Amino acid sequence: MLRPFFLLSTLCECISVIFENKPLNFTSGIFHEEIGSLKLWNDEWKLITYLDLENYYDEHKLIKLYSNDVKQACTFATQRHIMVTDCENINQTLSHSLVHTEEKNASISELLGLRSKPVDNKLTFLVLIPLVSSRVYSVEKLSSVPVSVPNSDSFIFILPQSPYLIIDKVKQHYFLMNEIELAECRYIKPFHLCQQSSPIFLVHLHGGCEASLFIPKPNIPLTCDKRIAKINQPLFIQLIQSNTWLYFTPKEENLDVTCRSSNVRESVKIHSSGVFHLNENCSAYGQSIILTSHSTFIREVRVNFTPEIDLRKSLDLNLSFLNTVDIQPLARELCNHRS
């Protein structure tokens, strides 16, 4: 069974404490953070609407007929137009461009700053309305979490194939997305609306690593990219959730927490892995890192989890078969994945 947990402090906790530390026994080597909901669309409803320019052309004709210079034209135009540029701010040595246009010339649309196709004195607009599927997906941000290798000073973790796993609410269908693909989606609260650009896979049949971990299994899937690293510095990954960090420390780390709103100063010792949350206007100072919170006004409560499986038990710990990497570039890459 998956083990859900909530990371946000309750109102009472926010009043009584300035931080929250939740040590967690991460053993799967990967952390799933739910950051939103998503729907897909493939088809479009195409509509065409138009704006009749006949009246506009008539007014432009009157401006040309009854004004010889820009000052007269501006004075005349104020009678029937909303002036964005005041007449006093117009350079009187310039002539207005309408003098040089023929009546009902299609190029008037460019002068008005419109982006459409003029047809028979009408500005036509093509409206594309996405037809969205009813299936709702969760957007899961994936982060690597190192797990200590028994009888070794090394650590093992899973490197996600993509930074985002998109999986439906019943955990049957999924696909992966990168940063660029997610950024191209349109966000209309509460959903990311995305044009489908990749195949949708079945969790039970396709066997991809990131999605397979949602299903209770005795072993880590062979499709997972397992890495080995030596880590001697603490690793903090800021989550999308406000003022919350996923951390891993190979040895005990002391954090001093202070807040601008009070003179309270508290210390906390963290070790191994967990989730650390700061209240607003507070900062935490470690030996090699500073965590700074920011103010938020609206928070969405979401559920995050790690698969309840031990990465170490499913591996032949002959390290020669695994890729060895430097953890520092990985840490920088993970931190850069913040949205």
Q: Is the pTM higher than 0.85?
A: no
Confidence label for 304 from pLDDT (cuts 50, 70 and 90)? low
> Residue 23 above 90 pLDDT?
no
Residue that is last in its domain, among 101, 129, 157? 129
Confidence label for 200 from pLDDT (cuts 50, 70 and 90)? very high
Confidence label for 320 from pLDDT (cuts 50, 70 and 90)? very low
Confidence label for 241 from pLDDT (cuts 50, 70 and 90)? confident
263-299 pLDDT, tens per residue? 778 999 998 888 999 988 899 999 888 999 876 544 4
Domain that holds residue 63: 46-129
Three-class SS string for the chain?
A: CCCCEECCCCHHHHHHCCEEEEECCCCCCEEEEEEEEEEEEEEEEEEEEEEECHHHHHHHHHHHHHCCCHHHHHHHHCCCCCCCCCHHHCCCCCCCHHHHCCCCCCCHHHHCCCCCEEECCEEEEEEEEEEECCCCEEEEEEEECCEECCCCCCEEEECCCCCEEEEECCCCEEEEECHHHHHCCEEECCEEEEECCCCCEEHHHHCCHHHHCCCCCCCCCCCCCEEEECCCCCEEEECCCCCEEEEEEEEEEEEEEEECCCCCEEEEEEEEEEEEEECCCEEEECCCCEEECCCCCCCCCCEEECCCCCHHHHCCCCHHHCEECCHHHHHHHHHHCCC
> Residue 14 above 80 pLDDT?
no
Mean pLDDT of 142-168: 89
Are 77 and 197 members of one domain? no
Are 314 and 188 members of one domain? yes
Are 183 and 239 members of one domain? yes
Are 72 and 119 members of one domain? yes
> Residue 156 above 60 pLDDT?
yes
Are 265 and 178 members of one domain? yes
Residue 64 is predicted with a pLDDT of 64
> Residue 134 above 50 pLDDT?
yes
Mean pLDDT of 71-80: 60
Higher pLDDT: 309 or 212? It is 212
Are 120 and 267 members of one domain? no
Residue 98 is predicted with a pLDDT of 43
Are 245 and 320 members of one domain? yes
Q: Return mean pLDDT, the chain.
A: 73
Are 187 and 243 members of one domain? yes
Residue that is last in its domain, among 129, 145, 170? 129
Confidence label for 93 from pLDDT (cuts 50, 70 and 90)? low
Residue 310 is predicted with a pLDDT of 64
How many domains does the chain divide into? 2
Are 153 and 62 members of one domain? no
Residue that is last in its domain, among 129, 154, 182? 129
Are 36 and 163 members of one domain? yes
Mean pLDDT of 35-39: 92
Confidence label for 220 from pLDDT (cuts 50, 70 and 90)? confident
